[in-house]
Amino acid sequence: MFFFFVGGVEQGAGRVLKEAAGRCLRCGGAADLVETDKVLKLFFVPVKRWPGKDPAYLCRECGLLAPGSLGGGEPGTGPPLLLRDARCGACNRAVADPQFRFCPFCGSAL
Ligand SMILES: [Zn+2]
Ligand SMILES: [Zn+2]
């Protein structure tokens, strides 16, 4: 027996935080700043919903949902991209380049 898992987590728009707070990246229409929800869907039926981390801009014209950091305007929303912790787990020394695969000090795999 083989079952297809039809479902997944989608991002949806929740409560409006600020009306017409930004502009749509795609069509230039007015976009509301909204809270985002993560919605777990099974067979296209939402079964679970929980709040997302960052607000987003929802376009009134075309429905595009864009991350709040792209819409501009709101300072301090959305943390910068998370960098991998550039520190050796074995000797706990800071590794200069997060791309390194081995610690230059003790040779441990990072
Ligand atoms: Zn739009
Ligand atoms: Zn090390």
> Does a structural domain hold residue 89?
no
Q: How far is the CA of 75 from the centre of ligand 1 (A)?
A: 22
Query: What's the gap in Å between 2 CA and the centre of ligand 1?
Result: 40
- Which H/E stretch holds residue 68? helix 68-71
**What pLDDT, on the 0 to 100 scale, is given for residue 5?**
59
Asked if residue 98 is part of any domain, the answer here is no
Domain range enclosing 63 = 7-71
Predicted model pTM = 0.48
Is residue 81 domain-resident? no
Whether residue 33 has pLDDT greater than 80:
yes
Contacting residues for 53 by C-beta, under 8 A, at least 6 apart: 36
pLDDT tens-digit map of 49-70: 777 778 889 999 999 988 875 4
Q: Which amino acid is residue 73, in one-letter code?
A: G
CA of 10 to the centre of ligand 1 (A): 19
The pLDDT confidence band at residue 103, using thresholds 50, 70 and 90, is confident
Q: How far is CA 63 from CA 9, 73, 78, in A?
A: 18, 19, 21
For the CA of 58, the nearest ligand = 1
Cα–Cα distance between 59 and 71 in angstroms, integer?
Answer: 11
